[in-house]
Amino acid sequence: MRIAVIQHSAGVGPAAMLQWLGEHQVSWHRVYAGEPLPSLEDFELLMLLDGSLSVHDERQHGWMGAEKCLIHQSLMARKRVFGSGLGALLLAEALGARIAGGPQAARIGWWQLEKDPQSRQSPLGRMLPQRLLALHWQRESCSLPHGAIALYGSAAAALQGFVWQERAIGLLCQLESDAESLDQRLQQASADLALPGEVQDRASIRDGAPHAASANATLYRLLDYLSGAHAHMT
């Protein structure tokens, strides 16, 4: 499958998704470094990575407005779209969701995900595990987009994952995190640990790394589903 990956921040990459991407034809678009966005004809799946930005940072980052247009165009063209963290918020906004932040909005650490009762309405939702521990690195949250089905929530925020028409998936939590990417983020984004809100300490966050393997396995299953033949039929 032809996949276009948009990376928003130098220190926030695909992490464990890199292994899954190795099975596909991938183009990289590091917008933080000035690389151009893909054309609509260049991909079947648009992958939006996490990043240390806000969805409202269009003035600081000129490419963000163009990326939002690309996401909207991709949805209208019936492309498949996946977003993690910031990517999920950009996807949710394109689908009409409200994005919320605030002085106490930070949620950083490990929380247990629980499947939303709505998830039973989705073939994807029915195949996902009932609960799993996942890294959260969030400064904003969103409402459920119109027409989407909630997949997961946690004590940190009611909505942590959603699916729209079985061909667009957003995960606000970071199922792609692994030990290496976690250490990198703790080093490069250490200032986030001082943000007001619900923020676990550095040791507790690092101690959660062994749980990444089960989160990664769930992510691979989800991405296999999204890249499967069903997306042509929805």
Which pLDDT tens digits describe the chain residue by residue (234 residues)? 999 999 999 989 999 999 999 999 999 999 999 999 999 999 999 999 999 999 999 999 999 999 999 999 999 999 999 999 999 999 999 999 999 987 788 999 999 999 999 999 999 999 999 999 999 999 999 999 999 999 999 999 999 999 999 999 999 999 999 999 999 999 999 999 999 999 999 999 999 999 999 999 999 999 999 999 865 545
Q: How many CB atoms lie within 10 A of CB 233?
A: 7
Name the fold adopted by 2-232. Rossmann fold (3.40.50)
d(CA 184, CA 41): 34
**DSSP label at residue 167:** T
d(CA 75, CA 33): 25
d(CA 216, CA 220): 6
Q: Compute φ and ψ for 209, nearest 5 degrees.
A: -55, -35
Strands 99-100 and 168-171: unpaired
Residue with tokens 């893909």: 38
- Terminal CA-CA length for the chain: 18
CB 92 within 8 A of CB 145: yes
d(CA 177, CA 133): 12
